[in-house]
């Protein structure tokens, strides 16, 4: 068999090289598109090599394989190989006609065939905000180490040119000898000039994107290189591990030292997102490469809405990453505050929600009637006027949404315009074009008390939806409405209390597995100051000609790299902990009380947030170093969990990649996965639910004795057995069971409590949430 395979590879290598370079050049027939094909390792995967040629050899292998399994009447059009995968998954991506894809599904060596999907880059802007990034900001500067750890940032690339966040401190050592990554040079990305001991890797993956486009990337529009022309990847990479930059700010806002979480960790960039999205096939290729490069942490500020874990490349790739000891954190998504909106739900990765910090950029709107409304702004200039100037509602000036070219110049000139909901900088450009001098922009109704600030182009303030309504009423109540906007700069204060869960942060429950609580944790994701590309404006509008070294933006993608950086520090401090143990340490030490001593609130309504909003709570890096106990899990435990989900052997083999043999000798209940949080799912009528856990003592005291404190969700009965755990040298791990009894309920989500194990030194806390189907 070995000989036959070798011959096949040699014969088709040249063919494959031609195919690989011609991908995307010609126009695809209508029903031809890219598919991701997972193969059964023992049958169809090529032998693994560590050579540079691996990719081409594997592509040749899979090309032959495809040609071999397609009957002659289906051999046209000739399948085009896009990628071969061997670390994050086993298989390949190829351009196939639909009838070819349908045929190969039935081949015994093929586990699954999934159409390639486009994912949205998760920015602060939900689609209703025209798909552009708004802004907000705060410096996240925490002293960290992370020396010797490599964080892979799978995103839009990096812009290192004149970006101090990516300069290497002279005392920074080279990356660890185990690291295999490197920087790719292209005409727009000079690796010699840009890469150093901080930025140690930079690669790009665009074959899936080009296949979907049907033509090569237009290099006048975007750079076919690791260079970030968007800004997102530069921001997330510098948040995870950027070097310290004193005096960093955006137009003077948030002035201070900007630095990544793990300020001494190395950064490796895997660019998978392009101007028109991030494709599954490219994401999987980026993760494949990151695993091969032996990074320590993978940071995923992207994701889509998959139907199942097995057709989500981030889930499959992350499973294989954690098996190699690589920690994976991912953004929960920006589709809050609606329930069941969280993404990246696999239990082996950390799903990060976003919270506020104690810094605001207030911009007061003062009306002629004496009322003041506090909004927010990142406008670079002065106060509109010291005195009041005329105010007009956009609907009375020809365009409720303040669309370009639609506002009446005669009405708007010299005035402040109150617009309806839209993307503030774009609306401001329209107001300015029509001769207006200021703008007031409402936040979304569903965001309640929460608003996002923007790098405003003209004097402007974003106010809550309710305040915008009050301002509207004023414009309609008087013949000559007047207003002024007063910028108050950067305010650090206890009011409102922080952290609060951001309105946009995606919520649980977990739509795949209600028994696994998601999101896992919250981290700063509102008003984050970090590095920005020189190829895009801070507002991302092409009419905006400003260029900035730092930008202030918000989103769970900004929260995710905080956790990635903290994980890198934990990896260095606790080298023998598994990614699951690191995740557990972060979750059980997270706090759920704000800086006013109250339960962390939702920024939507100021009410206490529950576990579906904040997970286990807000990450606490210092506490995570010494959690006392951890909820560990092995790859076999996760495989048993997949069995418990009822996945077929083929679906499970997509993750495990070593054949379709006898997994699922056990199918434990999914809720018995050793998770550091409890989601108890009841029938409508209530009942009793028991979950089992195993804790490992990682504290200094091998003879620690832990007692449990129980806070039952209101209206339920919660018991833990045993209530005391006595560890010793022989007994480093102990089991317990938790049982929740509840009656019927019509309000499905609002009952939560917690259990806390304590030895007098550590508090090992797990939220307990009850859900009724």
Residue ranges in contact with ligand NAG by CB under 6 A: 190, 192-193, 247, 249, 252, 255, 382-383, 486-487, 576-578, 581, 630, 632, 634, 696, 698
Q: How far is CA 374 from CA 140, 361, 543, 758, in A?
A: 24, 10, 28, 43
Whose Cβ is closer to ligand NAG: residue 252's or residue 760's? 252
- CA–CA gap between residue 46 and residue 61 (Å, rounded): 6
> Which has the closest alpha carbon to 757: 722, 731, 717, 728?
722
- Least separation, in Å, of the C-beta of 755 and ligand NAG? 20
Coarse DSSP helix, strand, coil percentages of the chain, rounded to the nearest 5 percent: 25, 25, 50
Instruction: Specify the 3-state DSSP secondary structure of 317.
Output: helix
Q: Look up tokens 């750079």; give the residue.
A: 223
- Least separation, in Å, of the C-beta of 408 and ligand NAG? 29
Whose Cβ is closer to ligand NAG: residue 174's or residue 252's? 252
Report residue 302: phi and psi, to 5°: -150, 175
- Least separation, in Å, of the C-beta of 356 and ligand NAG? 22
Whose Cβ is closer to ligand NAG: residue 306's or residue 377's? 377
Instruction: List all residues 6 or more positions away from 423 whose beta carbon is below 8 Å from its beta carbon.
Output: 125, 129, 130, 132, 134, 454
> Which has the closest alpha carbon to 179: 321, 289, 297, 294?
294
> Which has the closest alpha carbon to 603: 504, 701, 479?
504
- Least separation, in Å, of the C-beta of 585 and ligand NAG? 9
- Least separation, in Å, of the C-beta of 622 and ligand NAG? 18
- Least separation, in Å, of the C-beta of 384 and ligand NAG? 9
Whose Cβ is closer to ligand NAG: residue 252's or residue 669's? 252
- Least separation, in Å, of the C-beta of 534 and ligand NAG? 16
- CA–CA gap between residue 678 and residue 610 (Å, rounded): 13
Cβ atoms 287, 317 nearer than 8 A: yes
- Least separation, in Å, of the C-beta of 564 and ligand NAG? 18
Whose Cβ is closer to ligand NAG: residue 153's or residue 529's? 529
- CA–CA gap between residue 244 and residue 257 (Å, rounded): 6
Strands, E assignment, 538-665: 550-553, 601-602, 629-630
Instruction: List all residues 6 or more positions away from 472 whose beta carbon is below 8 Å from its beta carbon.
Output: 393, 418
As a whole number of Å, the CA-based R_g of the chain is 27
Strands, E assignment, 343-422: 350-355, 359-360, 362-367, 372-376, 389-393, 416-418
Whose Cβ is closer to ligand NAG: residue 88's or residue 258's? 258
Measured between its terminal Cα atoms, the distance across the chain in Å is 53
Whose Cβ is closer to ligand NAG: residue 112's or residue 566's? 566
Residues forming a β-bridge with 441: 462
- Least separation, in Å, of the C-beta of 583 and ligand NAG? 10
Whose Cβ is closer to ligand NAG: residue 2's or residue 247's? 247
Whose Cβ is closer to ligand NAG: residue 187's or residue 743's? 187
- Least separation, in Å, of the C-beta of 111 and ligand NAG? 25
Whose Cβ is closer to ligand NAG: residue 93's or residue 326's? 326
- Least separation, in Å, of the C-beta of 28 and ligand NAG? 35
State the DSSP string of 527-560: SEEEE--SSS-TT--TT-----SEEEE-SHHHHH
Cβ atoms 63, 15 nearer than 8 A: yes
Mode of pairing for the β-strands spanning 521-524 and 350-355? parallel
Total Cβ atoms within 10 A of residue 687: 15
Whose Cβ is closer to ligand NAG: residue 91's or residue 579's? 579
- Least separation, in Å, of the C-beta of 626 and ligand NAG? 12
Q: Which long-range contacts (CB under 8 A, 24 or more apart) does 635-642 make?
A: 635/319, 635/322, 635/323, 637/673, 637/674, 638/319, 638/322, 638/347, 638/348, 638/673, 639/663, 640/664, 640/666, 640/667, 640/668, 640/673, 641/347, 641/668, 641/670, 641/673, 642/309
Whose Cβ is closer to ligand NAG: residue 634's or residue 685's? 634
- Least separation, in Å, of the C-beta of 57 and ligand NAG? 30
556-573 vs 579-588: helix crossing angle, rounded to 10: 110
Whose Cβ is closer to ligand NAG: residue 255's or residue 595's? 255
Whose Cβ is closer to ligand NAG: residue 33's or residue 188's? 188
Instruction: Specify the 3-state DSSP secondary structure of 770.
Output: strand
- Least separation, in Å, of the C-beta of 378 and ligand NAG? 12
């Amino acid at each position: 068999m070995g000989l036959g395979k070798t011959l096949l590879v040699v014969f088709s290598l040249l063919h494959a090289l031609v195919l690989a370079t011609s991908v995307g050049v010609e126009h695809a027939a209508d029903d031809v598109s890219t598919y991701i094909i997972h193969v059964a390792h023992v049958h169809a995967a090529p032998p693994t090599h560590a050579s540079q040629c691996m990719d081409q050899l594997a592509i040749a292998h899979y090309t032959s394989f495809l040609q071999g399994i397609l009957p002659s009447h289906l051999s046209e059009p000739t399948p085009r190989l896009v990628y071969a995968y061997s670390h994050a998954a086993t298989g390949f991506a190829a351009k196939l006609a639909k009838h070819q894809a349908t045929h190969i599904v039935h081949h015994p060596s093929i586990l699954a065939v999934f159409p390639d999907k486009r994912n949205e880059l998760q920015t602060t802007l939900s689609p209703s905000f025209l798909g552009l990034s708004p802004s907000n900001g705060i410096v996240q500067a925490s002293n960290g180490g992370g020396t010797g750890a490599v964080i892979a940032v799978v995103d839009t690339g990096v812009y290192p040119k004149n970006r101090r966040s990516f300069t290497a401190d002279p005392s920074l050592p080279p990356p660890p000898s185990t690291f295999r990554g490197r920087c790719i040079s292209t005409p727009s990305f000079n690796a010699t000039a840009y890469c150093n001991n901080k930025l140690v890797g930079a690669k790009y993956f665009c074959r899936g994107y080009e296949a979907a486009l049907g033509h090569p990337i237009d290099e006048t529009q975007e750079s076919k290189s690791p260079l970030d022309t968007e800004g997102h990847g530069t921001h997330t990479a510098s948040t995870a591990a950027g070097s310290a930059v004193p005096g960093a700010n955006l137009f003077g806002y948030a002035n201070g030292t900007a630095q990544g979480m793990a300020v001494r960790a190395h950064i490796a960039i895997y660019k998978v997102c392009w101007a028109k999205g991030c494709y599954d096939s490219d994401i999987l290729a980026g993760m494949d490469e990151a695993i091969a490069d032996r990074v320590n942490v993978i940071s995923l500020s992207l994701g889509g809405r998959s139907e199942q874990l097995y057709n989500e490349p981030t889930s499959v790739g992350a499973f294989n990453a954690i098996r190699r000891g690589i920690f994976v954190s991912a953004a929960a998504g920006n589709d809050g505050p609606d329930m069941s909106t969280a993404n990246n739900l696999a239990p082996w990765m950390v799903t990060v929600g976003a919270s506020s910090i104690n810094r605001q950029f207030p911009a007061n709107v003062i009306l002629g009637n004496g009322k003041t409304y506090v909004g927010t702004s990142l406008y670079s200039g002065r106060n509109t006027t010291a005195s009041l100037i005329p105010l007009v509602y956009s609907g009375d000036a020809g365009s409720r949404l303040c669309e370009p070219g639609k506002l009446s110049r005669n009405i708007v000139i010299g005035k402040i315009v109150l617009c309806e909901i839209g993307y503030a900088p774009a609306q401001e450009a329209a107001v300015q074009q029509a001769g207006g001098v200021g703008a007031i922009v409402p936040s979304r109704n569903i965001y309640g008390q929460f608003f996002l600030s923007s790098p405003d182009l003209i004097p402007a303030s974003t106010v809550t939806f309710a305040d915008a309504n009050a301002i509207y009423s004023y414009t309609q109540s008087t013949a000559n409405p007047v207003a002024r906007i007063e910028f108050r700069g950067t305010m650090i204060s206890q009011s409102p209390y922080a952290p609060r869960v951001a309105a946009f942060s995606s919520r649980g429950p977990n739509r795949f597995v209600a028994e696994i609580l998601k999101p896992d944790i919250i981290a700063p994701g509102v008003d984050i100051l970090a590095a920005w590309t020189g190829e895009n404006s801070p507002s991302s509008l092409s009419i905006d000609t400003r260029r900035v070294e730092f930008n202030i933006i918000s989103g769970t993608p900004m929260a995710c790299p905080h956790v990635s950086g903290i994980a890198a520090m934990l990896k260095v401090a606790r080298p023998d902990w598994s990614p699951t143990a690191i995740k557990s340490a972060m979750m059980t030490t997270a706090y759920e009380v704000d800086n006013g001593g109250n339960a962390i609130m939702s920024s939507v309504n100021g009410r206490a947030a529950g576990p579906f909003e904040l997970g286990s709570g807000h990450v606490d890096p210092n506490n995570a170093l010494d959690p006392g106990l951890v909820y560990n899990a092995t790859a076999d435990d996760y495989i048993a969990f997949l069995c418990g989900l009822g996945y077929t052997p083929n679906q499970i083999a997509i993750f495990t990649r070593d054949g379709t043999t006898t997994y699922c000798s056990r199918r434990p209940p999914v809720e018995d996965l050793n998770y550091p949080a409890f989601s108890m799912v009841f029938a409508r009528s209530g009942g009793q639910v028991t979950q089992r856990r195993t804790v490992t003592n990682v504290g200094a005291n091998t003879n620690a004795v832990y007692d449990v404190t129980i806070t039952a969700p209101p209206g339920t009965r919660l018991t833990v057995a045993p209530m005391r755990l006595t560890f010793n040298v022989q007994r480093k791990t102990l089991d317990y069971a938790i049982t929740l009894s509840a009656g019927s309920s019509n309000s499905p989500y609002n009952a939560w409590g917690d259990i806390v194990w304590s030895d007098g030194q550590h508090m090992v806390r797990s939220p307990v949430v009850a859900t009724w189907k």
